[in-house]
Amino acid sequence: MSKSPEAGTVPVISPRLLRWFTWYVRRYLRRHFNAVRLLETSPPPARTEAPAVFYLNHASWWDPLVSLHLAATFFAGQSAFAPMDAQALQKYALLRRLGFFPVERGTLTGARRFLRTAGSILSEPHHALWLTPQGRFTDVRERPVRFEPGLGHLAARLPSVRFIPVAMEFTWWLERSPEVLVAFGSPVSMPAAASAAGRNALLEEALAALQDQLAAASQLRRCESFTTLLSGKAGVGGFYDLWRRLRTRARGAAFDPRHADRPL
C-alpha cells in the first residue's frame, strides 16, 4: 500500500503524464458522447490572479473526466487539483500524479486534512480546485441542492478565493450517443460576516439556479444556444448506417450520419 501524502502537502503533477491523459480523455469522450457543449449565455469567467474553486453537481461517473477537459480547454496553464475518496484513490494510484489527492470521508480527521490540503493548494494564484460538494451521485432535478459542510468551511477560511459554480448535465437529444451540457456561473459573492453554514447555503443556491438555467436550455434542444467544445461520432453505425450510406451514394449525395435535419 502506498503511503498517503502528508496533509497540507500540494500534490505533485507530472506534466508529461497530464498531457497524455488529457489527450486520452478527449478521445474517450468523443467515443462515448455525441458532443460536449457549453451554454453560450454561461461561459467560464475571465481568469484573474486569484486562485479558484470550481464546484459542480455530481451527475455521474463522467464528472472528473469532463472537468479535466474543461480545465484544459479554458484554463490552460492553471494547475488543477481534485479530492478523491482515499480508498478509491488507492486503486488508481496513477491519478495522484494528475492532481488528485485522498480524502477520508465521514471522519473529522479526514475533514481537517482536506481543509489543510485545500488551503495549501489555494495559496498559489495559478492553482484551482475542482470538486463535487454533494458528496454522492445526485439527479440533476433533485431540489433543494444540498452540500456537505466542507465547502462552506473552506469558503470561510479563504475569503479571497473565487468560488465558481459549474452545472453539468448528460442527456440524449437526437443521436444514439448522449450530449454533455455544461454551464459556468459567476463567482459567488459572499458577505464577509457570513458563517460557514451561511456560505454553504449561498453556494448551494448559486449552483441550483445555474442547474435550472441549463435544464431549461437542455429541454429546448437548440444547438444554436450552445458552443460545441468537442464532437463525437453521430449516427447508429453498423449495418444500418452502411445501408443509409449506400442509398445516399446511389443518389449522388454526400452521406451525413446525423439523425437531425440540422446540425446538433
253 and 183, same structural domain? Answer: no
Looking at residue 204, its pLDDT comes to 98
Instruction: Let me know if residue 145 belongs to a domain.
Output: yes
β-pairing, 162-171 vs 179-184, is antiparallel
- What is the CA 106 to chain-centroid distance, rounded? 23
pTM: 0.87
73 and 178, same structural domain? Answer: yes
What's the helix, strand, coil split of the chain in %, to 5? Answer: 40, 20, 40
60 and 132, same structural domain? Answer: yes
For the chain, what is the domain count? Answer: 2
Looking at residue 228, its pLDDT comes to 97
Instruction: Let me know if residue 4 belongs to a domain.
Output: no
Looking at residue 255, its pLDDT comes to 45
201 and 71, same structural domain? Answer: yes
Three-state SS at 157: helix
- What distance in Å separates the CA atoms of residue 55 and residue 208, rounded to the nearest whole number? 12
Looking at residue 260, its pLDDT comes to 58
Looking at residue 2, its pLDDT comes to 41
Looking at residue 250, its pLDDT comes to 63
Instruction: Quote the domain boundaries for residue 215.
Output: 15-232
Flag residues of the chain having pLDDT under 50: 1-4, 238-240, 242-243, 255, 261-264
221 and 175, same structural domain? Answer: yes
In terms of C-beta density within 10 A (0-12 exposed, 13-18 middle, 19 or more buried), how is residue 197 classed?
Answer: exposed
Looking at residue 175, its pLDDT comes to 86
Instruction: Let me know if residue 8 belongs to a domain.
Output: no
Contacts of 90 (CB under 8 A, 6+ apart): 1, 2, 102
244 and 176, same structural domain? Answer: no
108 and 224, same structural domain? Answer: yes
239-249 exposure pattern, b = at least 16 Cβ within 10 A, e = fewer = eebeeeeeeee
Contacts of 157 (CB under 8 A, 6+ apart): 115, 119
248 and 224, same structural domain? Answer: no
Percent of the chain with pLDDT over 70: 85
Looking at residue 87, its pLDDT comes to 87
Instruction: Let me know if residue 1 belongs to a domain.
Output: no
Instruction: Let me know if residue 147 belongs to a domain.
Output: yes
Residue with cell 496513477: 94
163 and 109, same structural domain? Answer: yes
In angstroms, what is the C-alpha Rg of the chain? 20
124 and 244, same structural domain? Answer: no
193 and 133, same structural domain? Answer: yes
155 and 249, same structural domain? Answer: no
